[in-house]
Amino acid sequence: MILNISDLIKTIALVLSGIASLIAISIAIKSENRNAKRFEAGLAVQKEIAEKSLIPILTVYYSENIDFKRIELFNAGIGTAIINKVTLSKNGKTVKSLHELFELPNKIKWDSYWTFEQNKYYLSAGKSFHLVELSEKNLRDQGFSKIEIANILDLWQKQMDGIKIEIYYEDIFGKNSYKYERVLPKIPY
C-alpha cells in the first residue's frame, strides 16, 4: 500500500495538531493549578489578617478619684476575649472577688463587685467588668459620716497597693493564648 504525499501530510498535520492540543491542555492545567495555589495563598493571608485583627487586649484600670473607687477589667482590643482563668491575690491570699482583699468595716455595702466562679467568661471588644467599686455617695446613703467616708476611701487607696491580677485568655479562634498580669500600686493623694 502506497500512501500519497497529500495523505501523509494530512496525517502528520493531524498528529501535530493533536500534540499541540495536548501541550495546550497541559499548559492550561498547570496555569490553573498555579492560579489555584495563588488563590489559596491569598485566602490564607486574608484569614491570618482577619484573625490578627480580632485580637482581644485586656487591661485593668483603677480609679484615682477621692470620692469614687473602682477597679475595672476592660477589653481594649477589637476581638472578644475568652477568659479561661483569673487569679486575684495579695500577700499570698487568693480570692474569687477583689472586694475580699480589702479590710474595710464589715457593715459596708459595696456599690458592686464581680465574682469569678465560672470556668469561662466572654468579654466583648470595648466592654468591661467592674471588678469592684465603692463610692462616697453609696457610703453616705448607708449613713456613714464625712470623716468615716474619708477614712474608708483612704483605706481603700492604701489597701489597693500590691493587689495582683492575673488573667489567662484566648481569642475567639482559640489559636492564640495570652496572659495579662498587673500589680496595682498605692496611689497617694
What is the structure's pLDDT at 63?
86
Residue 101 shares a structural domain with residue 139: yes
Q: Supply the DSSP symbol for 186.
A: P
**CA–CA separation, 56 vs 74, rounded Å?**
10
Tell me which residues of the chain have a pLDDT lower than 70. Answer: 1-3, 49-52, 187-189
pLDDT in tens, 62-76: 987 889 999 999 999
Query: Which residues constitute the domain of residue 44?
Result: 1-53
Nearest to 63 by CA among 148, 128, 116, 147: 128
Question: What does DSSP say about strands 81-90 and 121-123: parallel, antiparallel, or unpaired?
Answer: antiparallel
Residue 103 shares a structural domain with residue 21: no
- What total of structural domains would you count in the chain? 2
What is the structure's pLDDT at 182?
95
What is the structure's pLDDT at 85?
95
What is the structure's pLDDT at 188?
63
Residue 64 shares a structural domain with residue 154: yes
Cell of 46: 486574608
What is the structure's pLDDT at 116?
93
How many residues can be counted in the chain? 189
What is the SS3 assignment for 8? helix
Residue 38 shares a structural domain with residue 117: no
What is the structure's pLDDT at 1?
54
The answer to whether 71 touches 80, Cβ cutoff 8 Å, is no
55: Cβ contacts below 8 Å, ≥ 6 apart: 77, 78, 79, 171, 176
Q: What are phi and psi of 149, to 5 degrees?
A: -60, -45
Q: Supply the DSSP symbol for 76.
A: -
Residue 13 shares a structural domain with residue 43: yes
Amino acid at 106: N
pLDDT in tens, 94-104: 999 999 999 99
pTM of the full structure = 0.73
